[in-house]
Amino acid sequence: MQTFAEILKETRFFKDLNPEYIELLAGCGSNARFDPGDYIFKEGGDADTFYLIRHGQVALEVHDPRRGQIVVDTLHEDDILGWSWLFPPYKWHYSARAMSLTRGVAMDGKCLRGKCDMDTALGYELMKRFAVIMVDRLQATRLQVLNIYG
Amino acid sequence: MVEQLLTQPRTTTDPMLPNLFRIHRVLKESYDTFTVELVSLEGYQTFPFAPGQFNMLYVFGVGEIPISISGDPLHPETLVHTTRAVGTVTKAMRELKPGDVIGVRGPFGSAWPVKEARGADVVFVAGGIGLAPLRSSLYHILSQREKYGKIVLLYGCRSPEDILFRKELEKWRARFDLEIFVTVDYANSRWHGNVGVVTKLIPKAPFDPLNTVAMVCGPEVMMRFTAIELVKRGVNPENVYLSMERNMKCAVGFCGHCQFGPTFICKNGPVYPYSQIQSWLSMWEV
Ligand SMILES: Cc1cc2nc3c(=O)[nH]c(=O)nc-3n(C[C@H](O)[C@H](O)[C@H](O)COP(=O)(O)OP(=O)(O)OC[C@H]3O[C@@H](n4cnc5c(N)ncnc54)[C@H](O)[C@@H]3O)c2cc1C
């Protein structure tokens, strides 16, 4: 069986991260599994985890009282789910629902925040990686808002 | 006008003179998009064209517009066009019924690089109505499947209701030699597919960027960001082809309406390599 450190090393997100840091971060990981239709988290709930999706598809949803649940994004294998654990007030902005059987690694945000506070170089490495994801998603959202298909 | 054109025998092959075609069939593709199948009233048994070319379609008494050919180049006996109703002429065209007559000039313009792509992976990236101009190229490439590497279609549209050629996409998806990824901007929870812009599909799509030809069609903003993403993935800008749209009048390079940089889209385009037009794409006036 693969260790968490081995699993993390294979992901796009942690690729090339110093092996010592990988070992350190692996201590904050646990297995996660969701059946189709399961909510991984819900809008407004406490955000204390992020997920590395290893298999499956996840819908990010917003609730609209008139239209019901609106899916605004989908995430897949090797994607990162969740960054609200990084910033106060540590609450989820969206809901995340497994669209198919979804497996991954749940990373304990509180545990990570503690390790980053103790080792700012590690914190900087993680922040850089999250910044890339946030910029990519911001660009994609801008295009969505632009209604680029005319 | 139609009667006059039908009774006066044609003496020249004047590219400004429309050929008369009868509407054989009209298919509703979505709430705003329809396909017309046309047959010649002037005895042409076939209407050969290269994938990517367009015709000027004339709705008599309303106006003339450029529309790409969306049919199968191997079946040139019917001429097929898929159109989104956005304004005066396209909305008038949507009202036409089987048996009505339409004027056709063409085919005009450059083609998708189907020959140049032989031996390479081919990635089609379509946005909205952009799937229609790409369809003829897909037909061509699928008819010679063994000559190409992987074939991938990435298709983005606003919502599940906007998806064109649904049945055909389902049929193609069942093949083992073509990968199709569809994404929409928003959906309700009954949708089981991808949500997000089409550019998001590029980083993980299964093709070898170093040996890929990409054919991209959709609104200009979508094509600009798609080309950037393809190049970021490692595709050579010379192997990324875009189909440009500008207002057109004559379609034969006389009037200058469709000038794009130092070129005319009707003659030099609509299909251009990204490497040629990259610098004009972000200019405000070209
Ligand atoms: C080479 C080429 C190939 C084309 N192929 C196709 C095709 O296969 N299928 C197809 O549906 N269209 C295609 N087009 C676009 C099509 O020619 C235009 O949509 C058409 O000319 C609009 O004419 P109209 O009289 O209906 O609209 P107009 O009355 O001229 O415009 C009415 C309104 O619609 C807007 N509008 C115009 N064009 C578009 C558009 N493309 N998208 C969104 N809004 C628009 C205008 O800004 C205006 O606000 C192609 C264009 C070119 C240059």
CATH number for the domain spanning B72: value is: 2.40.30.10
Ligand 1 centroid from CA B56, angstroms: 12
Q: Is the peptide bond before A89 cis (omega within 30 degrees of 0)?
A: yes
pLDDT at B286: 55
Calculated CA dihedral for residues B121, B127, B133, B136, nearest 10 degrees: 40
The alpha carbon of B132 is separated from its chain's Cα centroid by a whole number of angstroms, namely: 4
Q: Which residue CA neighbors atom 42 of ligand 1 most closely?
A: A150
The 10 Å Cβ neighbour count of residue B263 is 18
List the single best residue of B185, B220, B229 to mutate versus A (max A Cβ within 10 A): B185
pLDDT at B252: 84
Q: Which residue CA neighbors atom 17 of ligand 1 most closely?
A: B66
Cβ of B66 less than 6 Å from ligand 1: yes
pLDDT at B11: 46
Report how far residue B196's alpha carbon sits from residue B5's, in angstroms, rounded to the nearest whole number: 49
* Count of helices and strands (H, E) across chain A: 4, 8
Residues of chain B with confidence (pLDDT) below 50: 2, 5-6, 9-12
Report how far residue A40's alpha carbon sits from residue A75's, in angstroms, rounded to the nearest whole number: 13
Contact indicator for B212, B120 with CB cutoff of 8 Å: yes
In the numeric block, the tokens 């044609």 are attached to: B10
Please, what's the b/e burial string for B179-189 (b: 16 or more CB within 10 A of its CB; e: otherwise)? bbbbbbbbbee
Mutation test residue for ligand 1: of B56, B65, B255, the one with most atoms within 8 Å of CB: B65
Q: Distance, in angstroms, between B279 CA and closest chain A CA?
A: 20
pLDDT at B6: 46
Q: Distance, in angstroms, between B224 CA and closest chain A CA?
A: 10
pLDDT at B2: 46
Segment holding B137, helix H or strand E = helix B131-143
Examine residue B143 and state whether it is found in any structural domain, yes or no.
Answer: no
Cβ of B268 less than 6 Å from ligand 1: no
Contact A144 B191 (CB under 8 A): no
Q: Two tokens at A17?
A: 């991260």
Contact indicator for A40, A98 with CB cutoff of 8 Å: yes
pLDDT at B4: 53
What count of residues does chain B have? Answer: 286
Contacts of B99 (CB under 8 A, 6+ apart): B22, B23
Q: Is the peptide bond before B76 cis (omega within 30 degrees of 0)?
A: no
Contact B157 A73 (CB under 8 A): no
Examine residue B150 and state whether it is found in any structural domain, yes or no.
Answer: no
Cβ of B251 less than 6 Å from ligand 1: no
pLDDT at B104: 95
The alpha carbon of A145 is separated from its chain's Cα centroid by a whole number of angstroms, namely: 22
β-pair partners for B23: B38
Examine residue B113 and state whether it is found in any structural domain, yes or no.
Answer: no
Query: What range defines the domain where residue A10 resides?
Result: 4-149
Query: What range defines the domain where residue B72 resides?
Result: 2-108
Contact B199 A140 (CB under 8 A): yes
List of chain B residues whose C-beta atoms are within 8 Å of the C-beta of residue A140: 196-197, 199-200
Q: How far is CA B31 from CA A111, B52, B165, B195, in A?
A: 51, 25, 13, 20
| Grouped pLDDT means (10 residues each) for chain A, 150 residues | 89 92 92 97 94 96 89 95 91 95 95 92 94 92 87
Burial class (CB in 10 A: 0-12, 13-18, 19+), A24: middle
Q: Two tokens at B76?
A: 């040139």
Domain count, chain B: 1
pLDDT at B21: 95
Interface residues of A toward B, Cβ cutoff 8 Å, are 59-61, 67-74, 76, 78, 97, 99, 140, 143-144, 146-150
pLDDT at B9: 46
Which CATH number fits the domain that encloses residue A11? 2.60.120.10
Contacts of B5 (CB under 8 A, 6+ apart): B18, B20, B103
- This prediction has a pTM of 0.91
Examine residue B125 and state whether it is found in any structural domain, yes or no.
Answer: no
Contact A144 B185 (CB under 8 A): yes
Domain count, chain A: 1
- B274-281 and B220-233 helices, crossing angle to 10°: 120
pLDDT at B15: 80
Task: Tell me which chain B residue has its CA closest to the CA of residue A77.
Answer: B204
Contact B191 A72 (CB under 8 A): no
Q: Two tokens at B261?
A: 């940089």
Beta strands in chain A (DSSP E): 29-34, 39-41, 49-55, 58-64, 68-75, 80-81, 95-98, 102-108
Pairing of β B151-157 and β B121-127 = parallel
Mutation test residue for ligand 1: of B90, B243, B260, B267, the one with most atoms within 8 Å of CB: B90
Contact B195 A67 (CB under 8 A): no
Report how far residue B186's alpha carbon sits from residue A94's, in angstroms, rounded to the nearest whole number: 14
Q: Two tokens at A18?
A: 């110093």
End-to-end, the C-alpha distance of chain A in Å comes to 49
Pairing of β B19-28 and β B212-217 = unpaired
